[in-house]
């Protein structure tokens, strides 16, 4: 790539030198030979490209016709100038695109070739399998997702999450491929392969991000296919009609050439994809992976945002906030934890972790789906569960008014107390997110009404739906899609269907399930809700700059076209209307990086 750029730059510089030198040659024959040689040097690649292209009516074709016309009327300097400035514009345009790509690949410098396996030593990354133990030294990138089984170290997670503050990781913590180990040797058990790792999924998304074109891009592509042949036809008529009625052929041929160069759609063709590519690059710097420009365009105009509750609005980490019992608290916890010994429910796990005493021997264990558990501890009959379980067994108790999941317990048909377990709301700036939505924010949750209502109240969200199954969430979003653009934010495997059905699905990348990440269009790699506000801002900025670029390009071209038809324009002004405007548009859309 560097060699290509150097050769192209050398060719441009040599052509500029010969072009200047021609002004010092007095003999016409020598001057003509030098100018034609310069023309061949600067234009031969354009001819080759035009021949290779299946589409005849592109910008290369317009430049060739315009320059050959200038040569025909012996305007050699202008013929060279058209191609030379076009080549300079192409060079700088490609350089800008390359810089934009490099900003992403530098940030997402995630490609890892080798891995150090504990048993085999250094091997190709493709050879590693799930379950393999690998080593990561200080300063090295983590090659695969995995669980730390030995060691403790700070991780630079910026390439994945966008967070600059190092993250402390210990035994049993999940680390993602692309993290950089900062302090000490780690032994990690692989939970992914080279094809399924977080780093590879990000790279795949970046490589495929241009596959999903925006409505604007699709329109510009279709527009160009009709536009260019139309311009060629008009250019012919500009020469033909005046010549038929006796006007000077060379004069109107020159005006026709100015018309061709001015009308070249370079700025339109480049501004839209480059603008959205810059938006995707800017998002990645913020730890937000946008899978395509189409999704970025949709985020600029949102009517409804739907949020899952647990793990999305809340931390998804349950804590015991209150214990109320008529017996010794430690013994009460011991009874509950023993009863829940065989349960893998997150609530049961929290209780078992809180209990510091040895578990009691349990018999006659029976799990009652949606209610709780029933068992015996020694000779005592124990019930542990929700209100329904106690009511069905005629236990007299006073229901708690606390917010959260309430675990009630009885012993020998007598109420002995309850535990309040709740989830913490994530840090967020909901007031800013609300400003980005045209209509409203809605919570869709599988939890009970009391829990969802409390979260909605605290976040000042008016509309919420509770006790929803995944299929119910899909139906809700589908019903709202009829009235506007929908966005769903979730993290769990059960959110995958609704993430897919929404106009834009946003998932939590760090803590979210693999299914949710695969189904979503946008991944928040840092699990930070405030990133939603950031990516919407970027989407709006991108769309605004693309829109203004199109308006500016068309306006300048229209003015110069009008001047050209009136005989008031020059070839130099025509080249500015094409190449100059293209460069200005490129610079303008690149400012996406310095906003937000």
Pairing mode of beta strands 437-444, 302-307: parallel
Query: What distance in Å separates the CA atoms of residue 34 and residue 31, rounded to the nearest whole number?
Result: 5
Q: Does the residue 346 lie in any domain?
A: yes
CB neighbour list of residue 176: distance below 8 Å, 6 or more residues apart: 142, 145, 157, 160, 197, 198, 199, 510
Tokens of 452: 């969802």
**Residue 372 contacts residue 385 (beta carbons within 8 Å):** yes
Which stretches of 347-446 are assigned E, i.e. beta strand? Answer: 362-368, 372-377, 380-385, 405-411, 414-425, 437-444
CA dist 76 → 9, 71, 203, 480 (Å): 22, 5, 48, 63
Q: How confident is the model at residue 389 (pLDDT cuts 50, 70, 90)?
A: very high
More confident residue, 428 or 39: 39
CA 271 to chain centre: 19
**Average of per-residue pLDDT across 382-406:** 89
Q: 4: pLDDT confidence band, cut at 50, 70 and 90? A: very low
Of 367, 368, 371, 319, give the one whose Cα is nearest residue 342.
367
Q: Is 572 exposed, middle or buried (0-12, 13-18, 19+ CB in 10 A)?
A: middle
Residue 546 counted as domain residue? no
List the single range of 27-36, 293-302, 310-319 with lowest mean pLDDT: 310-319
Q: Is residue 370 part of a domain?
A: yes
Give the N- to C-terminal CA distance of the chain in Å, as an integer: 32
State the CATH number of the domain containing residue 378. Answer: 3.40.1110.10
What is the pLDDT of the chain when averaged over all its residues?
82
| Cβ(191)–Cβ(145) below 8 Å | yes
- pLDDT of 493 strictly over 50: yes
**396, part of any domain:** yes
Which of 378, 377, 374 lies closest to 388, judged by CA?
374
Q: What pLDDT digit, counting tens, does each position of 335-350 carry? A: 999 998 887 677 788 8
Beta pairing partners, 123? 115
The HSE-up count of residue 191 (CA atoms within 13 Å, CB side) is: 16
157-166, 459-468, 565-574: least confident range? 157-166
- Per-residue pLDDT of 497-545, as tens digits, reads 888 889 999 988 665 556 566 778 888 877 788 889 999 999 999 999 9
Highest mean pLDDT out of 168-172, 257-261, 491-495: 168-172
Which residue range is the domain that position 419 belongs to?
316-424
Contacts of 370 (CB under 8 A, 6+ apart): 388
Using 50, 70 and 90 to split pLDDT, how confident is the model at 1?
Answer: very low
pLDDT band at 133 (very low <50, low <70, confident <90, very high): very high
Please tell me whether the overall predicted TM-score, pTM, comes out greater than 0.75 for this model: no
Confidence bin at 375 (pLDDT 50/70/90): very high
Q: Which backbone phi and psi does 500 adopt, to 5 degrees?
A: -75, -35
Q: What is the pLDDT of residue 419?
A: 94
Question: 318 vs 298, which has greater pLDDT?
Answer: 298
The token pair at 242 is 């005046």
Q: Is the pLDDT of residue 210 over 60?
A: no
Overall domain count for the chain: 1
Residue 408 φ/ψ, nearest 5 degrees: -95, 160
pLDDT tens digits, 306-346: 998 877 888 767 788 889 999 999 999 999 999 988 876 77
Residue 208 has pLDDT above 60, yes or no: no
Highest mean pLDDT range out of 263-267, 365-369, 415-419, 424-428?
415-419
Residue 395 in any domain: the answer is yes
> Would you say residue 424 has pLDDT above 90?
no
User: How many helices (DSSP H) and strands (DSSP E) are in the chain?
Assistant: 21, 22
What is the SS3 assignment for 242-309?
HHHCCCCHHHHHHHHHHHHHHHCCHHHHHHHHHHHHHHHHHHHHCCEEECCHHHHHHCCCEEEEEECH
The pLDDT tens digits of the residues spanning 438-462 come to: 999 999 987 778 778 888 888 889 9
Q: Catalytic annotation on 248?
A: no
Neighbours of 236 (CB within 10 A): 13
Task: List the strands of the sheet with 153-156, edge to edge.
Answer: 167-169, 153-156, 180-181
Mean pLDDT of 59-83: 77
pLDDT of residue 515: 58
Q: Residue 58: what pLDDT?
A: 61
Considering the domain boundaries, does residue 64 fall inside one? Answer: no
Please identify which residue in the block is written with the tokens 């527009």. 223
Length of the chain: 596
- Say how many C-beta atoms besides its own lie within 10 A of residue 591's C-beta: 11
Rounded-to-integer distance, Cα 91 and Cα 12, Å: 9
For residue 561, report the phi and psi dihedrals to the nearest 5 degrees: -60, -45
**DSSP label at 313?**
I
- Integer Cα distance of 590 and 586 in angstroms: 6
58, 132, 145, 308: which one is catalytic?
308
Q: pLDDT tens digits, residue range 78-126?
A: 778 778 877 776 776 666 666 655 555 554 555 678 899 998 899 999 8
* Dihedral class, residue 448 (left if φ above 0, else alpha if ψ from -120 to 50, else beta): beta
Helical spans, DSSP H, in 417-529: 430-435, 449-458, 470-481, 496-501, 514-519
Determine which of 306-320, 406-420, 544-558 has the lowest per-residue pLDDT on average: 306-320
The predicted-structure confidence for 142-183, as pLDDT tens digits, reads as follows: 999 999 999 998 888 766 655 555 788 899 888 888 888 988
Of the given ranges (247-256, 260-269, 368-377, 567-576), which has the lowest mean pLDDT? 260-269
Separation between Cα atoms, residue 437 and residue 303, nearest integer Å:
5
- Quick one: tokens of 348? 């049961």
> From CA 563, how far away is CA 569, in angstroms rounded?
5
Which pLDDT score, from 0 to 100, does residue 57 have?
A: 58
Question: Does residue 407 form part of some domain?
Answer: yes
CA separation, residue 48 to residues 92, 170, 330, 402 (Å):
20, 59, 84, 76
Cross-strand pairs, 325: 417
Is 15 a member of any domain? no
């Amino acid at each position: 790539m560097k060699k290509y750029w150097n050769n192209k730059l050398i060719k441009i510089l040599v052509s500029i030198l010969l072009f200047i030198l021609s002004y010092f040659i007095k003999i016409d024959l020598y001057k003509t030979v030098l100018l034609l040689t310069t023309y061949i040097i600067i234009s031969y690649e354009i001819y080759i490209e035009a021949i290779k292209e299946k589409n005849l009516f592109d910008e290369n074709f317009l430049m060739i016709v315009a320059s050959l016309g200038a040569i025909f009327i012996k305007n050699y300097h202008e013929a060279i100038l058209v191609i030379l400035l076009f080549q300079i514009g192409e060079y700088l345009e490609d350089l800008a695109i390359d810089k934009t790509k490099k900003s992403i690949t530098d940030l997402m410098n995630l490609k890892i070739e080798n891995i150090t396996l504990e048993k085999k030593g250094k091997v190709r990354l493709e050879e590693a399998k799930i379950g393999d133990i690998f080593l990561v030294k200080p300063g090295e990138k983590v090659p695969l997702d995995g669980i730390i089984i030995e060691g403790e170290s700070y991780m630079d997670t910026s390439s994945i999450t966008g967070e600059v503050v190092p993250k402390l990781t210990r035994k049993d913590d999940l680390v993602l491929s692309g993290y950089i180990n900062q302090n000490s040797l780690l032994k990690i058990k692989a939970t992914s392969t080279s094809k399924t790792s977080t780093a590879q999924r990000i790279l795949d998304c970046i490589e495929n991000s241009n596959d999903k074109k925006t409505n604007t891009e699709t329109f510009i592509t279709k527009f160009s296919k009709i536009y260019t042949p139309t311009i060629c036809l008009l250019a012919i008529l500009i020469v033909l009609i005046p010549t038929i009625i006796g006007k000077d052929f060379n004069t109107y041929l020159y005006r026709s050439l100015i018309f061709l160069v001015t009308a070249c759609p370079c700025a339109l063709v480049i501004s839209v994809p480059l603008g959205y590519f810059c938006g995707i690059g800017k998002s990645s710097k913020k730890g937000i992976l946008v899978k395509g420009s189409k999704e970025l365009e949709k985020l600029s105009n949102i009517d409804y945002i739907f949020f899952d509750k647990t793990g999305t609005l809340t931390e998804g980490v349950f804590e015991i906030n209150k214990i109320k019992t008529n017996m010794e608290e430690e013994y009460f916890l011991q009874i509950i934890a023993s009863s829940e010994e065989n349960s893998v429910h997150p609530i049961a796990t929290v209780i078992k972790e809180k209990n510091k005493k040895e578990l009691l021997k349990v018999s006659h264990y029976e799990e009652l789906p949606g209610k709780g558990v029933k068992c015996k501890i020694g000779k005592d009959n124990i019930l542990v569960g929700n209100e329904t379980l106690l009511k069905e067994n005629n236990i007299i108790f006073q229901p708690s008014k606390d917010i959260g999941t309430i675990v009630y317990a009885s012993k020998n048909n007598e109420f002995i107390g309850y535990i309040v377990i709740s989830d913490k709301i994530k840090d967020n700036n909901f007031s800013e997110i609300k400003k980005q939505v045209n209509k409203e924010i809605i919570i869709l949750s599988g939890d009970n009404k009391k829990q969802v209502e409390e979260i909605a109240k605290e976040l000042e969200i008016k509309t919420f739906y509770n006790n929803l199954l995944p299929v119910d969430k899909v139906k809700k979003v589908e019903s709202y899609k009829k009235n506007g653009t929908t966005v769903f934010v979730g993290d769990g495997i059960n959110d995958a269907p609704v993430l897919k059905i929404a106009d834009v699905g946003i998932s939590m990348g760090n803590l979210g399930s693999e299914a949710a990440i695969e189904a979503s269009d946008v991944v928040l790699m840092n699990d930070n809700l405030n990133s939603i506000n950031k990516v919407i801002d970027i989407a709006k900025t991108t769309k605004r700059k693309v829109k203004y670029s199109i308006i500016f390009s068309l306006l300048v071209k229209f003015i110069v076209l009008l001047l050209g038809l009136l005989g008031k324009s020059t070839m130099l002004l025509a080249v500015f209307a094409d190449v100059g405007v293209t460069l200005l548009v490129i610079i303008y859309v690149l400012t996406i990086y310095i906003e937000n």
